[in-house]
Amino acid sequence: MPFLKCLKISSSKEQSERTKRNGLRFSIYSSYKKVLFKGHYKGEWKDDRKHGKGIDIDRNGWMYEGDWFCGRKHGYGVLSKISKDGSIRKIYAGNWMMGKKEGFGNHWYDNGDYYEGDFHCNKRHGYGRIWYKNSDYYQGFWKNDFPNGKGIFVEGNGNRYEGTFVDGKRNKFGTFYHLDTGQCQYGYWCNDSCIHSIMRDINWRQSALHPTPYPIPEIKMSTICY
């Protein structure tokens, strides 16, 4: 019976394994191109890839601090943007999956809007709410980055729509509350336009900011004899 011998690892492969980054390390990226920042990463590694906790700043000033898995953002993390003057603005804080926003998160947009809710593949998808810079507000379901399904949209002046949205527009049946005039409008909508509706006064119409001068009379059926 022949003796069993241990397989030897080639010196080149052994040297390659030794050079792989594992554990806590600090890495600086170099580039011959003109860039705003010198990119660097400080955190944990596994098999020469970012894995675990770490902070990464790329050459364009994007900073990510959080969880990594096999070189990608995965888990919980915060994405921020560093300006030329050194100020840091938070962009996104929430869950990630294989480099994309996935699950619950908070997003601060460049135009001043703020969203908190569900994400799927970097898009708003699921349930969430958003505060617009112009004081409008939406709360409800999203699909492919647009309000889709049941939701509530509140205008800056207080007027409110409750109903169904399709691709960000009012569609199907819904109720529009004209709180500034003290009226309620229930009807069918198509692409943000009301096709037909029933208008009635709200009980506290006289408490509205700009109530209508005359109340809407109640519709009654009368018997006509011939």
Any residues with CB less than 8 A from the CB of 199 and at least 6 apart, and which? 183, 184, 185, 216
- The CA–CA distances, whole Å, from 189 to 148, 149, 186 equal 14, 13, 9
pLDDT tens track for 61-99? 999 999 999 999 999 999 999 998 889 999 999 999 999
CB 50 within 8 A of CB 39: no
Residue 20 has pLDDT above 60, yes or no: no
Domain boundaries, the chain: 23-108, 126-218
Alpha-carbon dihedral angle through residues 130, 133, 136, 141, given to the nearest 10 degrees: -20
Judge whether residue 156 has pLDDT over 80. Answer: yes
Q: How far is CA 119 from the centre of its chain?
A: 6
Assigned token pair, 210: 């700009």
Tens digits of residue pLDDT in 184-204: 899 999 999 999 999 887 765
Q: Yes or no: say if 119 and 126 are a contact pair by the CB < 8 Å rule.
A: yes
Is residue 115 within 8 A of residue 124, CB to CB? The reply is yes
Q: Is the pLDDT of residue 12 over 90?
A: no
Answer left, alpha or beta for residue 42, where phi above 0 means left and psi between -120 and 50 means alpha.
Answer: beta
Q: Is 150 helix (H, G, I), strand (E, B) or coil?
A: strand
Give the separation between CA 203 and CA 214, rounded to whole angstroms. Answer: 14
pTM: 0.77
pLDDT given at position 184: 87
Cα gap 126→121, rounded to integer Å: 12
Architecture of domain 126-218: Single Sheet (2.20)
Lowest mean pLDDT among 6-15, 25-34, 156-165, 188-197: 25-34
pLDDT value for 30:
46
